[in-house]
Amino acid sequence: MKTYKIALLDGDGIGPEIMVEAVKIMKLVAERNHINFELTHTPFGASAWFQCGSSFPDATKLVCDEADAILKGPIGLSHEESKKIPVDQQPERGALLPLRRRYNTYANFRPVFLPKGLAHFSPLKPEIIGDGIDIMIIRELVGGLYFGKKETGINAAGKRYVNEMLEYDEDQIRAILKVGFETAMKRKKVLHNIHKSNVLKSSVLWNEILDEVHKDYPQVKVVQMLVDAAATYLCLNPGQFDVMVMENMFGDILSDQGGGILGSLGLMPSACIGPDKAYYEPSHGSAPDIAGKNIANPYSMIGSVAMMLEYSFGMDQEAKNLWQAMQSVFAKGFSTPDLSKPGSGVKMISTSEFGDLVASELRAMPVPN
């Protein structure tokens, strides 16, 4: 029997409870497909800091090093709670960015996917949503401002100052642009290149390399768009986008806006792919205000499992089934309190009931060959 080792990083806030639902689904997928998922929970994030004094403990690194894939819950605490942890150990700087760096997970896939049946979640008008939204945001994840040199101090005029560099070399840019073109080739062969070349030199180099890489993909139509304009068009006309590629910080911001046009960041799973290792995570935060209440929707966590099945294990059909299973639960009128208000025909269910319903939808589908 094929065995895959998976490191489970429950994370903080709602992380553990949505992870329970992901595990429920993984066990079902394993059983249906006659494979074995060896699942190892390991501490990560603020909870790890309180438990073992490090937000990315060495023991966790070992489990991740040995895993075939990593499934990670959201991390982070409320602003007040965060202050109890030294700045460099806070889970974003002390765990998440080191995880991305350790496995060089440069290619971040963030689907902004809203089939017509889920259109009621979106704040956009039906005529703007049209047949639904289906965009793949590709974000460079290990370069740019996030990982550039940083310096703070007092300048010659006696003023506090900060200097953060936006750094990329041509290989990094080429690598992510190739991912953009490859993805466009598998979809509609249209690639929106998001940049700010009217101001930033980093975008000028980015676009130079784009022209070079484009030569290898002549079938792909490239649409150039400034990042500020892209923010507007995501609201006004999201249907024009299919694959969008951009640097790290632009991708952080526009992917959250993607969640906004869907109606919730809770509908945003993601895949973070490196040359040798990939990890999967919801794009949203740990929502400490609703943690432990069994009301958070596990869609983004289960969606991250679907992406893992597709990207790490080549189980494309089972991944599709899982997406379909989740859509069916919503289509039958079920929802959770974090996504929907009571009334308006919503059948309100809990985190665990949502997981159970997804499982029973999946169970009813034929097992892929």
To ligand IPM, the closest distance from the beta carbon of 109 in angstroms equals 12
Catalytic residue among 65, 211, 228, 289: 228
Q: Does 107 bind ligand IPM (CB under 6 A)?
A: no
DSSP string, 166-186: -B--HHHHHHHHHHHHHHHHH
Contacted entry of ligand IPM, Mg ion, none for residue 96, CB cut-off 5 to 8 Å set by kind: ligand IPM
Q: Considering 4, 146, 168, 299, which one is annotated as catalytic?
A: 146
* Residue 211 among the catalytic residues: no
Least Å from the CB of residue 3 to ligand IPM: 29
- When binding is defined by CB under 6 A, the residue of 252, 310, 318, 361 that contacts ligand IPM is 252
Query: Contacting ligand IPM (CB under 6 A), which of 25, 67, 71, 96?
Result: 96
Q: Rank residues 92 and 182 by Cβ distance to Mg ion and give the closer one.
A: 92
Question: For residues 18 and 296, is the Cβ–Cβ distance under 8 A?
Answer: yes
Q: Is residue 30 at the binding interface for ligand IPM, with CB under 6 A as the rule?
A: no
Q: Which is nearer to Mg ion, 252 or 318 (CB)?
A: 252
Candidate residues 50, 54, 81, 92; the one interacting with ligand IPM per rule CB under 6 A: 92
Q: How far is the CB of 12 from ligand IPM (least distance, A)?
A: 11
Q: How far is the CB of 283 from ligand IPM (least distance, A)?
A: 5
Decide whether 12 or 318 has the Cβ nearer to ligand IPM. Answer: 12
The answer to whether 318 contacts Mg ion (rule: CB under 5 A) is no
Can you say how many angstroms the Cα of residue 276 is from the centroid of all Cα atoms in its chain?
18
Measuring CA to CA, how many Å separate 40 from each of 43, 71, 277? 10, 10, 16
Does residue 146 have an active-site annotation? yes
Active-site annotation holds for 228? yes
- The residue with its CB nearest to ligand IPM is 92
C-alpha span between 204 and 197 (Å, rounded): 5
Q: Which does 247 bind (CB under 5 to 8 A by kind): Mg ion, ligand IPM, none?
A: none
Taking alpha carbons only, the member of 136, 159, 161 closest to residue 151 is 161
Cα–Cα distance between 298 and 22 in angstroms, integer? 8
Structure-block tokens of residue 232? 């507007």
Q: Which is nearer to ligand IPM, 146 or 334 (CB)?
A: 146
CB neighbours of 254 closer than 8 A, spacing ≥ 6? 137, 194, 227, 230, 231, 234, 244, 246
Give the contact letters, 240-279, x = binds to Mg ion (CB under 5 A), - = no. ------------x---------------------------
Q: Any residues with CB less than 8 A from the CB of 53 and at least 6 apart, and which?
A: none
Binding to ligand IPM, residues 267-306 (CB under 6 A): 283
Torsion 203-204-209-210 (CA) sign: positive
Q: Does 356 bind ligand IPM (CB under 6 A)?
A: no
244 contact, one of ligand IPM, Mg ion, none, CB 5-8 Å limit per kind: none
Number of other residues whose CB lies within 10 A of the CB of residue 178: 16
Of 181 and 311, CB closest to ligand IPM: 311
Contacts to ligand IPM from residues 171-230, by CB under 6 A: none
The set of residues, in sequence order, having a beta carbon less than 8 Å from that of 22 and lying 6+ positions away, is 71, 298, 301, 302, 304, 305
Rounding to the nearest 10 degrees, give the CA dihedral for residues 112, 113, 117, 118. -40
CA-based R_g, the chain, Å: 21
> How many other C-beta atoms can be found within 10 angstroms of the C-beta atom of residue 237?
11
Contacts to Mg ion by CB under 5 A: 252
Contacts to ligand IPM by CB under 6 A: 92, 96, 252, 283
Residues annotated as catalytic are: 146, 196, 228, 252, 256
